Amino acid sequence: MRCWTKRDVISVLDFKKDELEYLFSLTDKIIEEKIDVKKPLDGKIVATAFFEPSTRTRLSFETAAHRLGASVITLEPSISSLAKGESFADTMRMLDSYADVIVMRSPLEGAAKLAAEICEHPVINGGDGTQHHPTQAMIDIYTIKKIKGDLRDLTIGVLGDLKYGRAATSFMYGVSIFGVEKLWLISPKELMPRDDVLFTLKRFNVELHHTENINDIIGELDVLYVTRIQKERFPDPAEYERVRGTYQVDLKLLSKAKNSLIVMHPLPRVDEISYEVDTTNYAAYFKEASYGVPLRMALLMLIMGVYKDV
């Protein structure tokens, strides 16, 4: 296992199964209050720089940092020098001189990799365009493991926008790292994963199946990962109008599912999961969201090198 200290977190593909298991074991300890997490990052500064809207990712990182005793500085792109035309690279260089770790999000694919090349301090990717959302994938896998145990024998369906959705892409990579054997891709043809994503998935021993109709396969699934159609990333609004509202997960659909099925969603949702599902045993998405803070606390501790038991 590679040492976690000072590692950048750009893609979930940069991590091996045992490294992620180690992260999950620390997350368990934090949730079970088995370790003292009050001040391990006392005196450290965590910078958040989100060049795209975010609710959960930014706030859960900031909460995690505060809980660990770190100070947080937050870049507001709309009122910073970016608005004066400062480049992304110069902005990151400046943050690097202020903070001990940088959590960032950008609408541009590859921005996190560039930031990691520029910065001496570790960079955590909170989402880069349509490409990666590694910490969401870590939370997603952790959630499945907590509820289902081993991922290998599960049949997992990924529903919605598999072309532009970075959370869906990172989820597919993540479950593949954990040895999932069968993955159903459920989307309109226009929103199938890009060829580079399919190419990467083929490196794992995962059987990929595609359907446009979730009704055909809902009874087969152990996990249904639902994603929002990424309106903001469609180059053509007409294309978005054609596919919006294609799927809705409601009680009628779930009446055909296994009782043990769990429904996940990286959130925010728009209308793809009905509110009536929220109070059923199928709903795992709020549990999933609740793991955001402890898992990101564990991640910050490992990257900052303040937790070592190996």
Partner 1 sequence: MSEISEMKVSKIKDGTVIDHVPAGRALDVLRLLNLTGKEGFIISLVMNVPSKKFGKKDIVKVEGLELESNQVNKLALIAPTATINIVRNYDVIEKKRVNLPDRIIGILSCQNPNCITRKEREPVIASFIVISKKPLVVQCEYCGRLMNEDNVIKQLVR
Binding site for partner 1 (CB under 8 A): 87-89, 106-111, 113-114, 117, 129-131, 194-197, 199-200
Token digits of residue 38: 């009050």
Q: How many CB atoms lie within 10 A of CB 150?
A: 11
Closest to partner 1 by CB, 104 or 218? 104
CB of 130 to partner 1, least distance (A): 7
Closest to partner 1 by CB, 29 or 194? 194
Residues 75/126, Cβ–Cβ less than 8 Å: no
Active site residue 29: no
CB of 108 to partner 1, least distance (A): 5
| Dist CA 198 CA 68 (whole Å) | 38
| Dist CA 174 CA 141 (whole Å) | 7
Q: How many CB atoms lie within 10 A of CB 200?
A: 17
CB of 129 to partner 1, least distance (A): 5
Active site residue 84: yes
DSSP H or E stretch at residue 112:
helix 111-118
155-159: strand order across its sheet: 207-211, 182-186, 155-159, 223-226, 262-264
Closest to partner 1 by CB, 131 or 135? 131
CB of 305 to partner 1, least distance (A): 27
Catalytic residue among 57, 91, 130, 155: 57
Closest to partner 1 by CB, 80 or 274? 80
Active site residue 57: yes
Q: Which residues are known catalytic residues?
A: 56-57, 84, 105, 133
